[in-house]
Structure 1
């Protein structure tokens, strides 16, 4: 019964007495684990000063599903309707305005540009446009400002892997679903409190109706949900494999998750059918410099500081001027996260990759022949840090350095394992 805490049943977009027009599809599955996000983003869009809200997040995080639910819940707030604009099929930024106009069934006027026609049509309308998958046409973003300035009652809800960086934009990062702490052995009842587990179970029962959470499979399900970072797409693809594999077999194969998490639904865009395609789409949208930084960051385990990244770059390239801008860009593009700081915030912020994204980065690092020099630079930095820690742990800053060593546990262990593999330790 705990699952009910996490399931938002699909609301019918055409309720009796409803007058708002829309083209929103009825959802085939309930939205799980998004109560807080639905409430918070709906509240934002109801505020008069919020006219552009962008859902950001890595591929497969569930931005579109969340946006569709929010748009459906807001139908009563927009007398002139809610319109879904599908941008996934286009890659030319010049097609954004024609695509919006075509979806709204606005006829071309010979004496007007498509943008002027769209302005005229929307000028007095209380309308919400849901622009889905904006990341590949992000250079067209300034035209959205034009529309908002020309059409005072228009509001925009955008899904994008990348923030648009526009005046008046409100970003809403979509988080992963909640996952169990593997260090704590949770009961069946306890596991059912986590949205990732509930989603996995729901999708598992879609292919195997008699599947249930039991004492025998609880720890494996918890591990799958955690190792897949609570990513809805990854969880759905993993659950679909239960038709042919046991839970333990799926867990064992997550070392090679990109080979396992394939064969998604045929009625979604090709880049959403496999985990690899989803991350590769984001990677392909990066500049050459951003791709290089993304690959190099994959050697860090459990996150790192800006100082560590700059040191890595200095060892590899002799300079690190690009690092800060590059890190900021990867955060904006939902491929890197800035961790929360504890205490008074005096410590340097840490930057983290979801494990699924980091694995793709390691694969790309290998394919580009960059593993050896990058791991060597990574090891050099942490060996120096370990030597300094050995001294500092005996001094007056002992508590600070205990915390620092604890935060770098994953990196120090990775360096030790790498040196052992090479016979250098």
Structure 2
């Protein structure tokens, strides 16, 4: 059949409580799902419907007419009711909406799809919900055995305008269902979201699980990851749980402890009483309430937020708090949940045809978000197999940070994906205008990270700036020596060389002898404590593997720190210390290696290789550093030889060899000449 285009009626379905059934009745659910899929596909297709997507147990179908869609939905519910499901009884909730189709490669996108998805999720098993646009088309063509019950106008999460909802009743039978899961089900002040919510299914499920067990859950992540949006999306699905509602409190404009209590009181319409402290009044009013408070953006007054949350939890036994912050509140009973950036295509997948095509990259959340936002800006935006690699690289450059991706997507009105890809070499300049309707701190990436930076004290700023010299992360010792100390590094004469002939009779070397180290250098700053604070404030990420901790910054944050370091006038000295440190690192490592055939990628060299490359680049910037770069190359040369990296060696040697007069040590000068000659002979085309 042909794919419906133009004005299309969408039918979305899913199984109510399927996750729970998978956990409890896995084998029975596997068999039930097969029967479910057969019923839905055959019934939809028999009514001239087109199934364009299935996700788990969810079906997404498109129909040319609203009547076909409704009759298909009703017949599916009848068949589901009559089927004996054994240990895995199935109930399906459905949503129907009619709108303009934005079809591409057999899939549909845009506002109509977003609306039907939200409509379907508001229902319950056995229920068929119909939007007002579909009801209008059915008014004069409604099958005799079906009645549409008016459920009124309701607010659906993530949609900017209410939806008038109807319920399809079969054969005049009025089945009773719980209240619709809309924003109107309980008292709340949750702000309406004007853009769709993309991905994050696992995170939402985990937040629900953690909130079920904890009274205080803090969502922690760097700026721009979307902690506010995630918290709002997660809590809209919990409205039916909290009898007295869910209440959102934005702490951005708040200052001081009194301001905290005023914000809580204002959100819940609690008036102060003469002669009684406001905190006492709030706690007295809430002590018998069953509600959820969202304390958003706690990092700017974390101490006050911690005190307020602690007092509320102690005085009000039936309330729960969901806090969002770039650092933990650090009070008893707190559970902290780290939110990671959106998934991005990996660099390795660019060479895999099926992964770099338009369909292949669309499985990643960052790509899906970019496409969704780009379509809002330019309805003709299309991802093709030709421009898909550029989009994959853009999302990767932007670290999967939702705010960065949204800002980039806003540029498709002016730039093609190829042009945007080229301009993102300096992402801050390309995105410097931002979204006018966003809060001021979110109008550009720089403003966003500025906000985090302004919350740091002087020592934290000092370390944060200097950490930007690292590429690919760093170890604690490197941070202490390079960023936390002013003591000179003991860079002395180059090590002695021990000549030998390898099995292939190639002349090479290995370093030997005593080399100066940095192990005795003590930091002037409390680097451990400062790093811990930067991790708490989500500007640095601590990754623990194999019993050791390695720190890293998101690239967007690192570039910001680099700009601050350049502006501070401390860049040259910090880069010099970086060069000295990794020179000593490489030379010390080489003296300890007994087997020169050891695979480079199985050693500490692999972990620090991005930093070693950065050190080589630094050594090319000034004549006095040049010899240090040559010494690094000399130490790595044997590894490049033995592990098939001669071209890597050649790239670096070609950058250094034209300037032999800069090298003061005669032995080093001799070695670079010999190395260059050998590498040229071994890499001739």
TM-score grouping bracket, smaller chain normalisation: over 0.9
Aligned length: 419
Deviation, structure 1 residue 349: 1.3
Distance 1:161 1:330 in 2: 9
Q: After superposition, what is the alpha-carbon deviation per residue over 1:193-237, rounded to whole angstroms, capped at 9, x for unaligned?
A: 110011011111111111122111111101100010000000000
Deviation, structure 1 residue 102: 1.2
2:603 match: secondary structure: helix
Distance 2:185 2:344 in 1: 40
Alignment of 1:180-219 (within 5 A): 180-185=345-350, 186=355, 187-219=357-389
Q: In structure 2, do the counterparts of structure 1 residues 59 and 359 end up closer, same or farther at CA, with 3 Å as the change threshold?
A: same
Q: In structure 2, do the counterparts of structure 1 residues 174 and 390 end up closer, same or farther at CA, with 3 Å as the change threshold?
A: same
User: Could you say which residue in structure 1 is the equivalent of 2:541?
Assistant: 337
User: Could you say which residue in structure 2 is the equivalent of 1:125?
Assistant: 289
Deviation, structure 1 residue 373: 0.5
Deviation, structure 1 residue 139: 1.9
Deviation, structure 1 residue 168: 0.9
2:579 match: secondary structure: helix
Deviation, structure 1 residue 399: 6.1
Contact 2:467 2:483 in 1 (8 A): no
Match of 2:333 among 134, 150, 168: 168
Alignment of 1:251-290 (within 5 A): 251-290=421-460
Contact 1:2 1:189 in 2 (8 A): no
Contact 1:131 1:157 in 2 (8 A): yes
Q: In structure 2, do the counterparts of structure 1 residues 94 and 216 end up closer, same or farther at CA, with 3 Å as the change threshold?
A: same
Distance 1:278 1:190 in 2: 31
Moved more, 276-285 or 206-215: 206-215
Distance 1:3 1:206 in 2: 24
Contact 1:119 1:151 in 2 (8 A): yes
User: Could you say which residue in structure 2 is the equivalent of 1:359?
Assistant: 559
Match of 2:591 among 391, 396, 403: 391
Structure 2's unaligned 5+ residue stretches are 1-51, 57-108, 123-155, 163-178, 488-520, 630-685
Contact 1:75 1:81 in 2 (8 A): yes
User: Could you say which residue in structure 2 is the equivalent of 1:230?
Assistant: 400
Deviation, structure 1 residue 289: 0.3
User: Could you say which residue in structure 1 is the equivalent of 2:319?
Assistant: 154
> Are residue 28 (structure 1) and residue 194 (structure 2) matched?
yes
Moved more, 314-323 or 106-115: 314-323
Q: In structure 2, do the counterparts of structure 1 residues 314 and 241 end up closer, same or farther at CA, with 3 Å as the change threshold?
A: closer
1:230 match: secondary structure: coil
Match of 2:568 among 353, 357, 368: 368
User: Could you say which residue in structure 1 is the equivalent of 2:64?
Assistant: none
2:363 match: secondary structure: coil
Q: In structure 2, do the counterparts of structure 1 residues 308 and 215 end up closer, same or farther at CA, with 3 Å as the change threshold?
A: same
Distance 1:326 1:413 in 2: 27
Higher relative contact order (CA closer than 8 Å, sequence separation 6+): 1
Contact 1:2 1:192 in 2 (8 A): no
> Are residue 410 (structure 1) and residue 410 (structure 2) matched?
no
Q: After superposition, what is the alpha-carbon deviation per residue over 1:135-167, rounded to whole angstroms, capped at 9, x for unaligned?
A: 111120222101100000010011111211111
Distance 1:69 1:248 in 2: 33
User: Could you say which residue in structure 1 is the equivalent of 2:229?
Assistant: 65
For the aligned residue pairs, the C-alpha RMSD in angstroms reads 2.3
Deviation, structure 1 residue 2: 7.3
Contact 1:93 1:138 in 2 (8 A): no
> Are residue 325 (structure 1) and residue 529 (structure 2) matched?
yes
- Runs (4+) of structure 1 moved beyond 6 Å? 1-8
Q: After superposition, what is the alpha-carbon deviation per residue over 1:234-289, rounded to whole angstroms, capped at 9, x for unaligned?
A: 00000101111121222222232112213333333100111100001000000100
Distance 2:269 2:476 in 1: 49
User: Could you say which residue in structure 2 is the equivalent of 1:240?
Assistant: 410
Q: In structure 2, do the counterparts of structure 1 residues 237 and 130 end up closer, same or farther at CA, with 3 Å as the change threshold?
A: same
Structure 1's unaligned 5+ residue stretches are none
Q: In structure 2, do the counterparts of structure 1 residues 43 and 144 end up closer, same or farther at CA, with 3 Å as the change threshold?
A: same
Contact 2:473 2:551 in 1 (8 A): yes
Match of 1:86 among 250, 272, 290: 250
Q: In structure 2, do the counterparts of structure 1 residues 390 and 261 end up closer, same or farther at CA, with 3 Å as the change threshold?
A: same
1:183 match: secondary structure: helix
Distance 1:192 1:327 in 2: 36
2:452 match: secondary structure: helix
Point out the structure with the larger strand share.
Answer: 2
Contact 1:57 1:174 in 2 (8 A): yes
Max radius of gyration: which structure? 2
User: Could you say which residue in structure 1 is the equivalent of 2:15?
Assistant: none
Match of 2:619 among 410, 419, 422: 419
Contact 1:392 1:401 in 2 (8 A): no
User: Could you say which residue in structure 2 is the equivalent of 1:97?
Assistant: 261
Distance 1:220 1:193 in 2: 16
Q: In structure 2, do the counterparts of structure 1 residues 180 and 2 end up closer, same or farther at CA, with 3 Å as the change threshold?
A: farther
Contact 1:123 1:150 in 2 (8 A): yes
Distance 1:268 1:93 in 2: 27
User: Could you say which residue in structure 1 is the equivalent of 2:307?
Assistant: 142
User: Could you say which residue in structure 2 is the equivalent of 1:41?
Assistant: 207
TM-score, reference length from structure 2: 0.59
Distance 2:597 2:266 in 1: 64
